[in-house]
Structure 1
Amino acid sequence: MVSGLDELRPRPSLTTDLHVDVCLVGGGLTALWTAYSLAKADPSLRIAVLEREIAGFGASGRNGGWCSALFPRSTASLERTHGRDAAVAMRRAMIDTVDEVGRVAAAEGIDCDFVRGGTVLFARSAVQDVAARAEVDEATRFGVDRLEYWNADEVGRRFGVRGIAGHETSAAFDPACARVHPGKLVRGLARVVESLGVLLFERTEVLDWTAGQVRFRALGDGGGSGVDDGTAGPHGTVRARHVIIATEGYGPALPRVRRRILPLYSLMIATEPLPESVWRDIGIEHGQTFSDYRHLLVYGQRTADDRFAFGGRGAAYHWGSAVSPDYERVDRVFAHLRNALDDLFPAARDARVTHRWGGPLGVARDWHATASYNPKTGVGFAGGYVGDGLSTTNLAGRTLADLVLGCDSALTRLPWTNHRSPLWEPEPFRFAGANLGLLGTTLADVEERVTHRPSLIARAIGPLVGH
């Protein structure tokens, strides 16, 4: 059993030139699932993973722990773009992926607190109730997702959640989701791929790449902290038949990704462990994740050690797609998350917040994730998960493996395979658009609370965010 978290001590850097079959840039779940799938399919392949910090340093290791069937583009949007059959196939693949992550975790002995309890989406106002019913109706129309509508009596019997302005709360329930500890999953997977012979180099910064080669430099180990201590070691080149770029929100730091992905920050808080008596009042069970139908997204879970882990949007986009540790702690957003949690579950009001963190996720211009590979150049790319990557990375890894190996499979025929999103606009248009979109979702929630009608603002920006 690959149990629990490790000391997060960086693995050795790559310090010499290297020749491999496959070089993966980035040490998160996309790269690790790709390495896992390739190593399982063809153990003779020589595979290397290059990571600037440590495996799972980015969103892969510090996300909300939803192993869900969510995809950034809605099923209706996929149908409009790719047709009904393709949209249904994508939904089936995403639902199957939830179980696939659990299957591999069990088979490889990765102890990551995987419990499949589904997602409860609370509808706390009349407007949100309309949205919940519409989502269930849409799922029924496509006949793949098994969403259920729970009326106010059902929700009141199960949960201690408060409605808006005294409105009784209903909900939609999606069974296709599991609670996961993301850090345990990604670190455990890293150890598994190493056991399969994959070369995993940490504190190794990729500078650029072209077809067949990746330029890198080794970094100092920061005293074992995973933080750059300002020293740099040797520069070198990895030569590889296949180069896969899997950097997600950190991609814009690389010249060839720059405008392909926009980094958007999502922040989280965690409470102290709550007693069972409080959890009985709240009603969230182990394995269940939860959200509601507000437009400025929030998401949460009950952790294996009985904490709330609760996150959401609200942090600004920074000029030039800048990414910095300074952006990971925003007191205004942390206060918003605390207030939102208390508002949802009054029984949690006395719970002390013990942890606060955040990080960037990756957004494609059309909010359409992709797993892509060009057989002429041998270069592949996956990302644009918009926060729905914990499970989608697994699908990406299996898809990229088939593409690299030249397999024509059901995965390589999915509509996201080889999808090419348009580039984000140059500054200042990117800065203005991203932050106006954030403001729009905030105002849409205010509009609905005041008017008690579906937001016109939300309708206007819907096509821009994959709906």
Structure 2
Amino acid sequence: MTGSRWSGLSFWHETAGTDWTPRPSLPASTRADVAIVGAGYTGLWTAHYLAEAAPGLRIVVLEAEVAGYGASGRNGGWCSALFPSPFDAAQHRAMRETVDEVARAATAEGIDAHLAKGGTITLARTRAQLSRARAEVDEARSRGRGEDDLALLDKAAADAVLRATGTLGATYTPDCAAIHPARLVRGLADAVERRGVAVHERTRVRTISPHRVETDHGTVTADFVVRATEGYTPRLTGQERAVAPVHSLVLATAPLSTSQWDEVGLARRETFADHRHLIIYGQRTADDRLVFGGRGAPYRFGSRITTDFSRDHRVFERLRETLVDLFPVLRDVEVTHRWGGVLGIPRDWCASVGLDRDTGLAWAGGYVGDGVSTTNLAGRTLRDLVLGRTTPLTELPWVDHRSPDWEREPLRWAGINAGLRAASLADLEERITRRPSVVASALDRLTH
């Protein structure tokens, strides 16, 4: 089979500059020191840092499709300091440092991920959004975070960065880099192979148990087994309720002209969003396209994961309408690519990383869409845990956190889709009332 099946998954896959022909599957049952399930960012960063720190380790990475098939190759391209749940100063500091570590490691491995650290501007376009922006900055100040970490911008300062309609103000953080996600993940796969790691693609894992991984092509026994499957975790036996796979949809425009970019902004390739409840996100690519995505696709019953987004045409249309509402100059610009991917949401919305030394089972995930950088922090933390080191990373509060399981169906399906609808209603409510949403307040109490 050629690589065409995977090269057409998204704009990022199409422009990754890589051969998508799968690496060989696991040839037979084998023994390893560390078996890693999943060749996305989490699995590959873990393999990278382990191989770097302990070159003699026998490390095997097992991937059901090809490296970068999942969210690592399809996301919005934000390498940010965002973390999906409240965190203390040490966790935040680690996340800020991780943005620079991704850039450092990519450069060291010769990976051209089209990285540009322009920061993130998050617009406030209603009074309720401006109130949330101010509250976010006040909270940051109460935790000792200064202007160099998170700043409140007035309209003029916001417009100098991004000229969207209706802007009242914005928040800005320097701690984000725009990247080409598929170039990064494919570069990482090549890098770990150069370090002696065995990467087996087209090798579906069915079951993970202490010191043992069962695949379609044989069994891998190992001292340590790392689950790095994020939104695909429910496909593993016994993990059906560990995370909820929720799809995020993305589109990319044709390259914009210089005059169009002069009207939009993002001169330093800043990433952008706004303070609405139903998340949107965007970036300017290295070839001057605008990539824009958001939530809104329904959760599929039974945690079903899809690559067919044809029935989500209304979600894509709403994304385009939102993009034109923000930037009317783009009304006639062609949308050249539409795609989607699945992210993993734990029941308490808290990402975690950990290792049970009694069983040898390790894990990382639950990034809620903030995984481009968090996976790198996870990889370095898993390195330290596997090697038995006590370091500042192993003392962070997300280490060994255990999220509760999601409810069984049909409660899971009803609750998650009700939450998505509530987020949309909350934004509509705020546009009408010009006050913070009552619906959003109730939703926050239910989801945290």
TM-score range with shorter-chain normalisation?
over 0.9
- What are the Cα deviations for residues 302-341 of structure 1, in whole angstroms up to 9, with x where unaligned? 0000000000000001111111222476101110110011
| Paired position in structure 1 for 2:140 | 139
C-alpha offsets along residues 344-386 of structure 1, whole Å, 9 cap, x if unaligned?
A: 1112222100000001100000000001110010001111000
- The unaligned stretches of length 5 or more in structure 1 are 79-86, 218-234
How much does 1:251 deviate?
Answer: 0.8
Amino acid in the other structure paired with 1:367: W
1:61 is aligned with what amino acid? G
Separation in 2 of the partners of 1:209 and 1:200?
18
Q: Does the 8 A contact of 2:208 with 2:236 survive in 1?
A: no
- The alpha carbon displacement at 1:117 in A equals 0.3
Instruction: Say yes or no: does 1:60 pair with 2:72.
Output: yes
Which residue number in structure 2 is paired with residue 213 of structure 1? Answer: 212
Residues 33-59 of structure 1, C-alpha deviation per residue, up to 9 Å, x if partnerless?
000010011000000000000001000
Confirm or deny that 1:402 pairs with 2:384: yes
For the pair 1:411 / 2:423, whether they are aligned, the reply is no
Equivalent residues in 2 for 1:58-457, closer than 5 Å? 58-74=70-86, 78=87, 87-144=88-145, 146-163=149-166, 168-217=167-216, 235-327=217-309, 330-457=312-439
Alpha-carbon distance between aligned partners in 1 of 2:145 and 2:387, rounded to the nearest angstrom: 30
1:15 aligns with 2:27: yes
The share of aligned pairs that are identical, in percent, is 53
TM-fit CA distance, 1:5:
2.4
Shift of 1:66: 0.3
Task: For 1:153 and 1:207, locate their aligned partners in 2 and report how far apart those are by CA, in whole Å.
Answer: 55
Kindly state the Cα deviation for residue 213 of structure 1 after the two structures are TM-superposed: 1.0
Distance 1:156 1:214 in 2: 53
- Give, in whole Å, the separation in 2 of the partners of 1:355 and 1:301: 15
Q: Deviations 1:144-165 (Å, cap 9, x if unpaired)?
A: 46111110122234432101xx
- Give the Cα–Cα distance (whole angstroms) in 2 for the partners of residues 350 and 21 of structure 1: 55
Corresponding residue of 1:228: none
What code does the residue aligned with 1:436 have?
A: A
1:51 matched to which residue of 2?
Answer: 63
Query: d(CA) in 2 for partners of 1:396 and 1:46?
Result: 20
Distance change (3 Å), C-alpha of 1:386 and 1:158? closer
Contact 1:252 1:259 in 2 (8 A): yes
Where 2:73 maps in the other structure, the secondary structure is coil
* 1:128, distance to aligned residue in structure 2 (A): 1.0
CA distance in 2, matches of 1:400, 1:383: 12
Cα displacement string for residues 160-210 of structure 1 (whole angstroms, at most 9, x for unaligned residues): 2101xxxx4211101100000000000001100000000000000101121
1:267 and 1:329 in contact (8 A); partners too: no
Provide the secondary structure at the position in 2 that maps to 1:359: strand
CA distance in 2, matches of 1:155, 1:95: 22
The aligned residue for residue 224 of structure 1 is none
The 3 A distance-change label for structure 1 pair 328 and 204 is farther
More displaced stretch, 326-335 vs 87-96: 326-335
Query: How many residues of Structure 1 are paired with residues of Structure 2 in the alignment?
Result: 432
Provide the secondary structure at the position in 1 that maps to 2:130: helix
CA shift at 1:137, angstroms? 1.3
Question: Helix, strand or coil for the counterpart of 1:274?
Answer: coil
Contact 2:161–2:267 at 8 Å: present in 1 too? no
Q: Distance in 2 between matches of 1:114 and 1:196?
A: 23
**CA offset at residue 7 of structure 1?**
2.0
- 1:67 touches 1:180 (CA, 8 Å); kept in 2? yes
Task: Show CA shifts across 1:14-71 (max 9, x none).
Answer: 1201111000001100000000010011000000000000001000011000000000
Q: Distance in 1 between matches of 2:161 and 2:201?
A: 46
Give the secondary structure class of the aligned counterpart of 1:314: coil
Structure 2: distance between partners of 1:159 and 1:208: 48
Distance 1:382 1:47 in 2: 17
